């Protein structure tokens, strides 16, 4: 059952990247067609963009998610109980020790991120750490470690990172089109002789 879940998550990740790539290509083609009357330039720009963005996102998605959340590394000295809990849960789960981060936020929350279990990261908000007792914190940590073990983290991390580019395209596309249309309106008119 566990291995089936892991394989499903890996397939979903590939499908997500393919669907995202098709969406970006279609958006590029639409912008090219609407702005210049030809889909090929927009398609070419979108393809070049994808050739760089997808590998860079894959390599930096964890850092992007942590930066978006405002997470900072948690030291063992500052959070000894948290480190003991995570270490104790990793042993029976046969997981490598993930990196531990803390987010300065009063709301109780936690999340796991990373591309594979040996590169996993778990982040806890200060609100969660202040409100929960040890047993409750163990439950939350076990839940996040299950996400790491099942490769849910790869799917979730890439989803967050890839959605950010759609937001950028949604912002840039209308600007490019409006620039193109403004340029058309400024053409010099030759007075009749």
Given a contact cutoff of 8 angstroms between Cβ atoms, the answer to whether 91 and 98 are in contact is: no
Given a contact cutoff of 8 angstroms between Cβ atoms, the answer to whether 126 and 108 are in contact is: no
Continuous segment of H or E residues that includes residue 73: strand 71-73
Strand order in the sheet with 110-113: 71-73, 99-103, 121-125, 110-113
From its phi and psi, is residue 116 left (phi > 0), alpha (psi between -120 and 50) or beta? beta
Q: Please say if 77 is a catalytic residue.
A: no
Residue-by-residue DSSP string for 102-144:
EE--SS--EEEE-SSGGG-EEEEEHHHHHH--HHHHHHHHHHH
| Number of Cβ within a 10 Å radius of residue 106 | 11
List the structure tokens of 3.
């291995």
Of the candidates 77, 88, 136, 144, the residue annotated as catalytic is 144
Catalytic residues: 144
């Amino acid at each position: 059952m566990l291995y089936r879940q892991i394989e499903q998550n890996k397939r979903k990740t590939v499908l997500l990247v393919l669907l995202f790539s098709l969406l970006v290509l279609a958006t590029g083609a639409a912008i090219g067609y609407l702005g210049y009357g030809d889909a090929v330039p927009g398609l070419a720009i979108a393809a070049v963009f994808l050739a760089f963005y997808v590998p860079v996102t894959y390599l930096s998605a964890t850092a992007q998610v942590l930066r978006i959340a405002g997470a900072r590394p948690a030291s063992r000295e500052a959070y000894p109980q948290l480190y003991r809990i995570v270490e104790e849960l990793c042993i029976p789960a046969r997981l490598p020790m993930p990196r531990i981060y803390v987010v300065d936020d009063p709301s109780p929350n936690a999340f796991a991120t990373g591309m594979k279990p040996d590169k996993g990261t778990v982040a806890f908000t200060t609100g969660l750490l202040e409100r929960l007792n040890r047993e409750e914190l163990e439950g939350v940590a076990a839940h996040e470690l299950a996400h790491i073990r099942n490769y849910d983290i790869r799917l979730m991390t890439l989803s967050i990172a890839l959605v950010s580019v759609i937001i950028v395209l949604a912002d840039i596309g209308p600007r490019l089109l409006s620039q193109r249309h403004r340029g058309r309106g400024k053409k010099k008119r030759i007075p009749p002789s």
